[in-house]
Structure 1
Amino acid sequence: MELLLAFLNTRDLELGTDVLDSAASWRAWVTERGLGPVSDLPKLRTARTALRSSLGEGTKAVPFSGTVQIELSQGIPTIATTDALQAVLAAAARVALLGSWDRFKICQAETCQSAFFDRSRNRSRTWCSMQICGNREKARLWRERTRALSAS
């Protein structure tokens, strides 16, 4: 789950950074996580966009297909990955198979848009962090209401 979240958040709107902008930054990301060889950046960007669109980012679904290999190791099926993208896709497939895909969400704050895992009982979280994004959004809405009331 953490690998999937990390991959979904390789782009940071607040900092203006994107790990997938250069092979060097992607290589560092992969090395930090002890993953296999580096995949090609255009395919990685497409995979990230497709995964994020399936979580509700954007207005239309982005098609993507990738492969994940299953091996039998001592009679037990295991996921065999040969590169970092396969590891991410395997993590996504595992989350979906466990029935938790709908708990992955995109923060509704326009300046954030980070992916997060909704641990709330009723699966109703809107922001990645109530202390940061939720607080900013609620303050913004309050200012708009106050301005509208004072203008009338």
Structure 2
Amino acid sequence: MSAPDTDHDVDLLLAFLNTRDEEKHTDVLDDVDEWRLWTRSNGIRVPGGPADVRPLRDALREAIACREHAPDLTSGAASDVAVDLRAEVRGGVPVLAPTTAAGVFLAAALRLTILGEWDRFKICPARTCRWAFYDRSRNRSRSWCSMRVCGNREKARAFRERAKT
């Protein structure tokens, strides 16, 4: 079972990765007011607008998709993005201390990477979905964001294709 801080990082990162919705053709980052509302509702209290975080979101999604669909690619296959991120010692403990919204999301991704949880993030392979999800299965083999929706659609489509031949 994961620690509460880990769960918070997972939830925050998923919310960030899914600010773009392929099915509804919407993107929170296309509207500054919508972004401000999103940051408030997700507890982001540091500066950073849509233009500041979009490159990071897109690079993280691309990194996950590249890893999922071409796991043998060397590092650097996804876009490189630089984000300033401070580290501090607080109460005798080293911590990441982001000063921007992009830094908040990158700090969450780094903490999850250090814990070996980053590879649990996946992108649904359904072309109309592309939702980011966190694979909580024991053997990390989950393929779909939802078996009831995307997985079922894909399995039905594959069945119809096989039935044609």
TM-score when scaled to structure 1?
0.90
Counterparts of 2:37 and 2:50, CA distance in 1: 13
- Residue from 118, 123, 127 that aligns with 1:106: 123
CA distance in 2, matches of 1:79, 1:16: 34
* Structure-2 residue corresponding to 1:83: 100
Asked if residue 21 in structure 1 is aligned to residue 38 in structure 2, the reply is no
- In 1, Cα distance between equivalents of 2:156 and 2:115: 37
Equivalence map 1:1-152=2 (5 Å): 1-56=10-65, 60-146=77-163, 148-149=164-165
- Partner deviation per Cα, 1:19-56 (whole Å, 9 max, x = no partner): 00011111111011121244132231111110011101
8 A contact 2:123–2:131 mirrored in 1: yes
Unaligned runs of 5+ in 2: 1-9, 71-76
Deviates more, 1:79-88 or 1:123-132: 79-88
Shift, 1:79, TM fit: 2.2
Describe the SS at the equivalent of 1:55. helix
- Name the CA distance, whole Å, in 2 between partners of 1:132 and 1:38: 37
CA deviation map 1:54-86 (0-9, x unaligned):
101598511111122111111112222223221
Tell me, yes or no, if the aligned pair for 1:27 and 1:38 is still in contact at 8 Å. Answer: no
Extract unaligned runs of 5+ from structure 1: none
Cα root mean square deviation, aligned? 1.6
Alignment-mate amino acid for residue 160 of structure 2: R
Tell me the distance in 2 between the aligned counterparts of 1:92 and 1:124.
20
Distance 2:104 2:49 in 1: 14
Structure 2 residue identity aligned to 1:10: T
Q: Report the Cα offset of residue 98 of structure 1.
A: 0.5
Counting matched residue pairs gives: 148
| Alpha-carbon displacement from aligned partner over 1:91-146 (angstroms, at most 9, x marks no partner) | 00001111111111000111100111111122111111111110011011111112
Counting aligned pairs with the same residue, the percent is: 50
Tell whether the 8 Å contact from 2:120 to 2:134 is kept in structure 1 after alignment.
Answer: yes
